[in-house]
Structure 1
Amino acid sequence: MSTSLTERLREARARRGALLSDAHTTAFRWVNGAPDGVPDVTVDTFAGLPVVSLYRDFSREEEQALLDAAWEAWAPRSLYLKRRPREARVLANVARDVVAPEAPARGEPVESLEALENGLRFRIRPAQGLSVGLYLDMRETRAWLHGEVKGLTVLNLFSYTCAFGVVATAGGAKRVLNIDSSRRVLDWGEENARLNGQPVDRYDYVAGDVFDWLGRLAKKGETFDVVISDPPSFSTTRSTRFSAARDYPQLAEAAARVVVPGGRLVACCNLAPLTPRRFEALVMEGTARAGRTARPVAALGPSAVDFPSSPEAPAGLKVQVLQLR
């Protein structure tokens, strides 16, 4: 007899094991698509509030059945829905209310809440759009960073709400410079810093094009011990169009130019079709163009506890840590 959808959702959450009882981490993934028996669906939870994402066009009947099953399986106070078809980037601009409804799919509206990751606090806005404030597949990489940056300078590229910056500061970094094209998310990043009692210097939250700023920093001879490069797979600013599969060598080259000798480049990519081997080759190509010798020192990725994978559904996130000479 086939397991009901409600039961599959309940079992997926139960498989998160120790994360369910970890008082220091309240933000993690409850459902990760096919490996959890629910293809084309992910569910992220933030302090017990589930955010459901759909990765194909579900019929209204399918969507309602899924939401009903989730409501029954978990009995949360609220449930938010994000629709992420392939063309979500375009739809997000022209039909945001369809792709990421502001109203909850079930339950009471929640404008914002605080979630914990390894004891650090982050502001989550479940109605804010497709991205609600924290990318959970980076939890392991952020935990690694925390133990590696004491007394060091850190450059956080494509910083979004500055989670890497918050973690680096908590880990004792001497200075963290956050760069993102959006002033709005940088303001959010400043809010995250303040939530954790960290000082905020506006000069370390820079709004602008990452390539432009990397050029400026290199021209001034400014360098960093650790440079984190976590770009979107595709992005467009007023001056650049970026595609990870095509342009990562260019990004790695520009980033390598501002890493101190002996420092590290943390190169990240979430483009699923790009294999880990191909991604490493793109990063190495870029660092070589910058005249740097790169030695891989770590390969990181999402936690297998809440981001299970399979041969048919491999992990999307790839993180290469390189030491540059």
Structure 2
Amino acid sequence: MSASDRVETKWSRLVEQALRRRAPILRDANTTALRLIHGAGDGLPGLVVEQFGEVLVAQLHEERLSLPQEAVRAIVIALARRRGAQAVYRKVFPRDRSASRARLDALHHAAAPWWGRPAEEEFEVRERGVAFRIRPYDGYSVGLFLEQRANRDRVRQLAEGRRVLNVFAYTCGFSVCAALGGAAETVSVDVSKRYLEWGRRNFAANGLALERHVFIRSDALDYFRRARRQGRAFDIVILDPPTFARVKGRRKPFVFEQQIGALATAAMEVLQRGGRLLACTNHRETTIRDLERIVRRAAGERRIESVARPKLPPDFPGDGDYAKSLWLRVN
């Protein structure tokens, strides 16, 4: 057996172990979206595989892969067949960061899958019974960040009768869960009109009327300033900014470490006494202690009554720095 054959055999064994590790969530009939392979956390550096209904999405981080793409493809196809999937789409994170953006955009927006038959452009999955609309070839992201599953659950549990502000709302997953939990009002803020429309479809997928739920296309800091002028106050504020984002029509990109301090301060200024702030980041260089220090500084003289530091869901093993979140109750 060649060295590459031995590595491929080892990877196949590690895939089997990863599935066993996820047995409880795989048995949950109300959840059809989960992470099957979490890179080095499952002993498979460079490979991330998520399942969305009958579609697998494989992320290939080339600088960390120890197998050629064709060998990885064979392993992922075997996993897809095992899971009853009908298609696999791939998202390539190239070793050479100067690689053609146009070529990658074309790859990530192609309806033709890496394997299997083309999936619908948009389809529904479930997470603990909540419906979300997924677009598997809409770029790098497909519409749902699975690491936030437990936080979405908690928002749903806390939302009854409360006013909820969801900033950097993306496709409004937190807002949907707040509405399902009986929120008196949700406000979803994002710079992307397209993502907010996607969010509206997520509301419709769950049979939610929109009378008490508002979608606002705005820069986050601009919205915070407007909310203060209007005397708005919220019982729950969700602050989940990206690490980095280019905004169409703006010269400067959004950079997390440059703006998180101002964002946290602005969030505190519209948070009701006794309200809760959920602050999240997947910025690798910002530790959970860093994030807590930033948020405490933003609170100023307000007293923080409680802090919770949720762990990642069990399908994200072995990498606690992958994403961090804090729940704070602030007086």
Q: TM-score, normalised by structure 2?
A: 0.89
1:5 to 11, 20, 26: 11
Shift of 1:96: 0.7
- Output the amino acid matched with 2:160: K
1:286 to 298, 304, 322: 298
- 2:148 and 2:96 map into 1 onto residues whose CA distance is 24
Shift of 1:302: 1.8
2:77 to 71, 76, 95: 71
Alignment CA distance shift 1:127-1:157 (3 Å): same
The number of aligned residues is 319
After superposition, give the CA deviation of every residue in 1:195-214 in whole Å (9 maximum; x if it has no partner): 00001249711111111111
Computed over aligned residues only, the root mean square deviation of the Cα atoms, in angstroms, reads 2.5
Paired residues of 1:302 and 1:315 also in contact (CA < 8 A): no
Matches within 5 A, 1:167-316: 167-201=177-211, 204-237=214-247, 238=250, 241-288=253-300, 291-303=301-313, 305-309=314-318, 313-316=319-322
- 1:105 counterpart = 2:104: no
Query: 1:42 aligns to what?
Result: 48
Shift of 1:168: 0.4
Alignment CA distance shift 1:173-1:253 (3 Å): same
Alignment CA distance shift 1:99-1:83 (3 Å): farther
- 1:94 and 1:216 map into 2 onto residues whose CA distance is 40
Query: 2:22 aligns to what?
Result: 16
Look up the SS of the partner of 1:292 in the other structure: coil
Shift of 1:314: 3.2
Paired residues of 1:124 and 1:132 also in contact (CA < 8 A): yes
3-12 vs 172-181, greater mean Cα deviation? 3-12
Query: 2:154 aligns to what?
Result: 144
User: Taking every aligned residue pair, what percent have the same amino acid on both sides?
Assistant: 34
- Output the amino acid matched with 1:281: R
1:163 to 163, 166, 173: 173
After superposition, give the CA deviation of every residue in 1:92-150 in whole Å (9 maximum; x if it has no partner): 57741245644210011112221100101111110111010100000011111111111
Is there any run of 5+ residues in structure 2 with no aligned partner, and where? 1-5
After superposition, give the CA deviation of every residue in 1:259-311 in whole Å (9 maximum; x if it has no partner): 111111111111122211111111212222xx5333343112421x20001xx
- 2:173 and 2:45 map into 1 onto residues whose CA distance is 29
Is there any run of 5+ residues in structure 1 with no aligned partner, and where? none
